Amino acid sequence: MTDAAFTNTPARTQGKAVTVALRWLLYVLLIAFALFYLAPLFVMVTTSLKSLEEIRTGDLIALPREVTFDAWATAWSGACTGIQCEGVRPYFWNSVLIAVPAVLISTLIGAINGYVVAQWQFRGANVFFALLLFGCFIPFQVVLLPMARMLGLMGIAGTIPGLIFVHVVYGLGFTTLFFRNYYVSIPSELVKAAKVDGAGFFRIFWSIFLPLSLPIIVVTVIWQFTQIWNDFLFGVSFSQAGTQPVTVALNNIVNSTTGVKEYNVDMAAAIIAALPTLIVYVIAGKYFIRGLTAGSVKG
């Protein structure tokens, strides 16, 4: 048996050739799909670096004959979103002003909620968790109308604090879920022992749980940042001219009907809007994927 296995009979060589051919086919297919996923990004980047003249006369996938950053400059500070022509810059900063506080607040509250639900069980805590969990799944259309009125009543309609509020409220489900699932694996004896030693609710959170939480904090922050930065529905429903996030501004630039259609500016604006989440993905892809799978799989 041992000897025969290592002799190259014709049948064996043929089998080997098939295996090699299959492997090649496999790589060809994998690369073809990689091209499919990369193509739109490639087209966006090359288009954004071409002049309008070149776009009209050249190929969609051709490299720019002459690289120009004019479209980027226009997209950043001159493109028109309707009647105003300030580019995406002010809206980019709006998105930052919305996303940063909303991410921090929803992560902090989620951490405390998760800590309570996982470690301080009391009657009703599970009901709360189930209600919250279901809240993650509702289509937001069902809350748009009453929320618009509520923001009006609260006096924060069309403002950045209003958008922060909305993102915090509807982000709580996921942030609580993340922390709860993480903390539930920490043995409850730890809390009991700490209580015997006289440590209170916050002390235990602060000196035992928080130091263990870095991975889940990273996952939660990335998840929330991606969700909030990429949000369009809340942005378009609850903002007004000066407070729109960058996704809304991008859509307005692309669909603005005044003047010549500047495809290169559209593409540059799209890349600018995508850049923050893309950078996060490239730097912390591992955590990004963990958030995606945790957020969608674990119930």
Least separation in angstroms between CB 217 and another protein: 18
Q: Which stretch binds another protein (CB under 8 A): 67-75, 81-89, 197-205, 206-214?
A: 197-205
Among left, alpha and beta (phi > 0; psi -120 to 50; other), residue 87 is left
> Interface with another protein by CB under 8 A: which range of 7-15, 23-31, 72-80, 152-160?
23-31
Q: What is the dihedral of CA 119, 124, 126, 132, to 10 degrees?
A: -110
Name the packing angle between helices 141-154 and 160-183 (round to 10°).
120
CB closer to another protein, 75 vs 160: 75
Site for another protein in 97-116 (CB under 8 A): 109, 112-113, 116
Nearer to another protein, 140 or 206 (CB): 140
Shortest distance (Å) from residue 194 CB to another protein: 14
Q: What is the dihedral of CA 177, 182, 183, 184, to 10 degrees?
A: 80
Identity of residue 41: L
145: alpha, beta or left? (left if phi > 0; alpha if psi -120 to 50): alpha
- 152 belongs to the binding site for another protein (CB under 8 A): no
Helix (H, G, I), strand (E, B) or coil at 81: strand
Residue 172 engages another protein in binding (rule: CB under 8 A): yes
- Answer whether 241's CB lies under 8 Å from 229's CB: no
- Interface with another protein in residues 202-231 (CB under 8 A): 202, 226, 229-231
> Which residue in 38, 154, 193, 241 binds another protein (CB under 8 A)?
38
Instruction: Give the whole-angstrom CA distance, residue 99 versus residue 218.
Output: 15
Selected range binding another protein among 2-10, 69-77, 144-152, 207-215, rule: CB under 8 A: 144-152
- Interaction with another protein in 66-85: which residues (CB under 8 A)? none
Greatest distance between any 2 Cα atoms in the chain:
85
Residue 201, classed as helix, strand or coil, is: helix
Q: Contacting another protein (CB under 8 A), which of 140, 192, 206, 210?
A: 140
The answer to whether residue 274 forms part of the interface with another protein (CB under 8 A) is yes
| Residue with token string 């064996």 | 12
Question: Applying CB under 8 A, which of residues 1, 2, 10, 122 lies at the interface with another protein?
Answer: 122
Cβ–Cβ < 8 Å for 119, 188: yes
Instruction: Report 242-271 residues binding another protein (CB under 8 A).
Output: 247, 250-251, 254-255, 263, 266-267, 269-271
Specify whether the CB–CB gap between 142 and 128 falls below 8 A: no
Residue of 41, 67, 154, 283 interacting with another protein (CB under 8 A): 41
Q: Per CB under 8 A, which region of 27-35, 66-74, 83-91, 155-163 contacts another protein?
A: 27-35
In the chain, DSSP finds a helix count (H) and a strand count (E) of: 15, 0
55 binding another protein? (CB under 8 A): yes
Select the residue interacting with another protein from 78, 82, 90, 135 (CB under 8 A): 135
For residue 263, the one-letter residue type is Y
- Distance of closest approach, residue 2 Cβ to another protein, in angstroms: 15
The encoded tokens of residue 238 equal: 């609850």
| Residue 93 binds another protein (CB under 8 A) | no
